[in-house]
Structure 1
Amino acid sequence: MIVQLSTRKNSQCGQVYCAVFYWVFVMQRGRFCITGAFCDLYVTKNNKIFVALLIAITVQSIGFFAFKSMGWIVVEPAEALSIVAVALGAFLFGIGIILAGGCATGTWYRAGEGLVGSWVALATYMLFSAMMRSEPLGEFNSSLRGQNIDHKTIYDSFGISPWILVAILTAVTGYLVWQHLRKPQAKIASLKPKKTGLAHILFEKRWHPFITAILVGVIALATGREFGLGITGPSANILQYLVMGDGKFINWDVFLVLGILLGAFFAAKMSNEFRVRVLDATIVIRSLIGGVVMGVGASLAGGCSIGNGLVETAFFSWQGWISLPIMILGTWGAAYWTIIRPSKIQAAARASS
């Protein structure tokens, strides 16, 4: 899905600042973790973070179609849907984010927080994302993504107004939010604040995931640009630029992901959360494999948990709403083998001893 803002007049510098603000204070401080949203649905039977994701999608969707109706956005749907590549890639990506300990965005900002496992996952994620766009995996990627069917948006396929889908999404999301807010809220013990005023709110206070989600949706709309937000492409571009030195790989998206890394470092330092944490060899190897699977999966699916799970869903493209549930299934499968099954084995061993 190509989105072009006809009134876009932001300078490159202004876009960088917006990107840094977006990822630093919302994603890092708000702990907006899409991997956790998917995993919690299965492991802890808690859908709170997933509801937060739906809030972000809903806010974007309302704003997107409002801007479209005012002529501020011109939408050009892709001509074809690579359904096999999208389904396979989304499932692999779901597995990869569990192994890596975070989605594409989470891996970038956790690397900025000093988590060495995320550094490893990020390196292999960038490497294989680039390999899927060139040699030696580019031909495999192109051939699988070349198996297309006619692609339309969901509302075009059913011949209905997109506002009907926006209304349904808003109603479902609103009901789920109401269910959560009516529950008694558990009191969470917190340390005595070291900061006051705005500094306390930005760098110490625990953010509610629903407020974070609203900010994610609003700021995503505010970053007017030609394409929806994405992480995989610019991650590959950085590595290709470092190898080939071709300036064509440096664009808005590259500044975005670099903003995640540098901004997360700044936010973590200001909130005393930065630590260089070296994990055991098993976690490092798992992170390495996770980055590989993420890079391959996101390239096949045409997007990661942000590009497909957050942006394409807001546009009601088939690619987005096919990817989202399949990514969730991938995380559940990986969570069973890495979390649930080992826990059961340990519990059985304790019971027999």
Structure 2
Amino acid sequence: MSAPTLTATNASPLLRQPVALAASIAALTGLFTYLAQNQGQHSGLVMLLGAALGVALYHASFGFTTAWRTFVTTGRGRAIRAQMLMLAVAVCLFFPALAAGELFGQQVFGFVRPLSVSVVFGAFIFGIGMQIANGCASGNLYHAGGGQLRAIPSMIGFAAGALWATHDYEWWTTQPSLAPVDLIELLGLAPAIALNLAVFAAIALLTRAIEKRRHGAVEADDAGADQPLSRRLLSGPWPFIWGAVALAVLNFATLAMIGRPWAVALAYPLWGAKAAEAMNLGLDVDFWGYWLMPGRDTALMGGVLDDSASLMNIGVILGALVAATLAGRFSLSWKMPLMQWVAAILGGLMLGYGATIAFGCNIGAFFGGIASGSLHGWLWLVAAFAGSFVGTWFRPLFRLPRT
């Protein structure tokens, strides 16, 4: 099932799906208006910030699942190099603000977490889950917004797995753990930035060397180069580099607006708890240790639209919807084989459970952790990449292509 499109191949993308475009803009505007009137303009702006992230993710097709799998199976590292650029820009923006403790008068803090068994195990199963589910935390959101309804079973599994992990959360906190390591405090601002930039450069150079060895040349990042600049900005496609810079800057805007980095997985335990409550499953989640922690108890008592992480996730979906209709590529895609449904749900469970016990997903732990100067972000990356490698070889079991 697809949304109506114009048949003229030379039509501007803005004119190919006028009804869908108008509906997507109306949905975004309507939710912003509702939030501004009922919860304050700040909530509306938080949602719009999520929408901007959704536009960037969709137009740049900026994901982690395919990027890591492509490097494992083909040695192509263009997307990984873009991720290193994203981290480099983020570190240069985040570290001075985090060292100062405030940004534009707003108190800010990073995600600095322990080096624990739960990070290693959680990130590892997250890496497997992202390959089986065919999407990561941010990927599922923008795929759903673009009409790939096949992401919804994975998101349902994500919420269920996250809720399951909140039940086990106290046990995981008792497992072996080392104290958090904040590189900004340990090394000082300038050395911490320099060290991170050196590591990013080394990873980028390594991917180039491997790609040249396997293919003889490095793949160009020239998506949409044949289109006028104005059309590329509005309708895409964007080069990975554009997406990398946009995501870093928008994450920094999140730090300024909310006081913490962008986090996707934070919303899923709440969604799972609210769903369990709506279905009268009889789970006393109020007494689980995870929900007794400061801030989480307040989130559980409030509504989904009171939660900033949820608002941003909803914004990402709506932003991707707007981007897809601007590009004239919005289509509803639902049909897939039974084994892929199983993969989506099972992979989603692994994503939700893993992200919750590992203090975040590819956004909150990897992107946000490294941008915060936390060593746990690097530990998460190593464990998740190892899991992604394993998950790549599991894919054929679910009738999914390995590449």
2:232–2:238 CA contact under 8 A, matched in 1: no
Shift of 1:78: 7.8
Among 177, 180, 191, the alignment partner of 1:164 is 191
SS of the residue corresponding to residue 229 of structure 1 reads: coil
Is contact 2:138-2:363 (8 Å) kept?
yes
1:117 is matched with which residue? 150
- What is the alpha-carbon distance in structure 2 between the residues aligned to residue 105 and residue 64 of structure 1? 20
Is it true that 1:68 corresponds to 2:98 in the alignment? yes
Q: 1:153 to 1:162 in 2, by over 3 A?
A: farther
Q: Equivalents in 1 of 2:59, 2:135: separation in Å?
A: 15
Deviates more, 1:255-264 or 1:228-237: 228-237
**CA drift at 1:326:** 0.6
Structure 1 residue 251 and structure 2 residue 307: aligned?
yes
Provide closer, same or farther for how the CA distance between residues 41 and 177 of structure 1 changes in structure 2, counting only shifts above 3 A.
closer
Tell me which residue corresponds to 1:108: 141
Q: Is 285-294 or 264-273 further displaced after alignment?
A: 264-273
Query: Is 1:198 aligned with 2:230?
Result: yes
CA distance in 2, matches of 1:271, 1:148: 49
Q: Secondary structure at the match of 2:362?
A: coil
In structure 1, stretches of 5+ residues that fail to align are 1-8, 346-353
- 1:278-307 C-alpha deviation (Å, 9 max, x unpaired): 112121111111111111111111100101
Q: 1:339 to 1:280 in 2, by over 3 A?
A: closer
Whole-Å separation in 1 of the counterparts to 2:111 and 2:344: 33
Residue 298 of structure 1 aligns to a residue whose secondary structure is: helix
Secondary structure at the aligned position of 1:132 is classed as helix
Give the equivalent residue in structure 2 for 1:5: none
Task: Report if the CA contact (8 A) 1:43-1:340 is conserved.
Answer: no
Cα 1:202/1:176, change in 2 over 3 Å: farther
Distance (Å, rounded) in 1 between the aligned partners of 2:260 and 2:82:
23
Q: Do 2:94 and 2:372's aligned partners in 1 also have CA atoms closer than 8 Å? A: yes
User: Could you tell me how far 1:184 is from its partner in structure 2?
Assistant: 6.7
Once the two structures are superposed, residues 30-68 of structure 1 have per-residue CA deviations (whole angstroms, 9 ceiling, x without a partner) of: 111011222222111122211111111121111112223
Give 1:30-109 correspondences, 5 Å limit. Answer: 30-73=60-103, 81=114, 83-109=116-142
Q: How far has the Cα of 1:263 moved from its partner? A: 1.8
Q: 1:261 matched to which residue of 2?
A: 317
SS in 2 for 1:152: coil
Aligned residue pairs, count: 327
Measured after TM superposition, the shift of residue 130 of structure 1 is: 2.3
The one of 301, 304, 316 equivalent to 2:358 is 301
Paired letter, 1:170? L
CA distance in 2, matches of 1:212, 1:79: 25
Contact 2:126 2:351 in 1 (8 A): yes
Residue-by-residue CA offset, 1:97-123 (whole Å, 9 max, x unaligned): 001101011011111222232111111
- CA change 1:10–1:145 in 2 (3 A) is farther
In the aligned structure 1, how far is the partner of 2:95 from the partner of 2:88? 11
CA deviation after TM superposition for structure 1 residue 275, in Å: 1.8
Residue in structure 1 matched with residue 240 of structure 2 by the alignment: 209
Contact 2:110–2:368 at 8 Å: present in 1 too? no
- Structure 2 counterpart of 1:232, which letter? A
1:313 is aligned to 2:370 = yes
TM superposition shift of 1:192: 8.3
Which position in structure 1 is the counterpart of 2:53? 22
For the residue of structure 2 that corresponds to 1:29, the secondary structure is: helix
Equivalent position of 1:281 in the other structure: 338
Q: What is the match of residue 165 of structure 2?
A: 132
Determine the C-alpha separation between the residues in 2 that align with 1:239 and 1:342.
28
Contact 1:81 1:148 (C-alpha < 8 Å) held by counterparts: no
- Is the 1:77–1:153 Cα contact (8 Å) retained in structure 2? no
Kindly report the root-mean-square deviation, in angstroms, between the aligned alpha carbons of the 2 structures.
3.4
Q: Structure 1 residues 72, 184: closer, same or farther in 2, change over 3 A?
A: same
- The answer to whether the 8 Å contact 2:90/2:371 transfers is yes
Matches of 2:302 and 2:273, distance apart in 1: 10
Match of 1:153 among 181, 189, 193: 181
The letter for the 2-side match of 1:168 is L
* 1:227 and 2:274 matched: no
Is 1:11 matched with 2:67? no
Give the direction of change, closer, same or farther, for the CA distance of 1:69–1:268 in structure 2 (3 Å limit): same
SS, match of residue 97 in structure 1 = helix
Does the CA contact (< 8 Å) of 2:82 and 2:241 recur in 1? Answer: yes
2:249 aligned with 1:218: yes
* CA shift for structure 1 position 322: 0.8
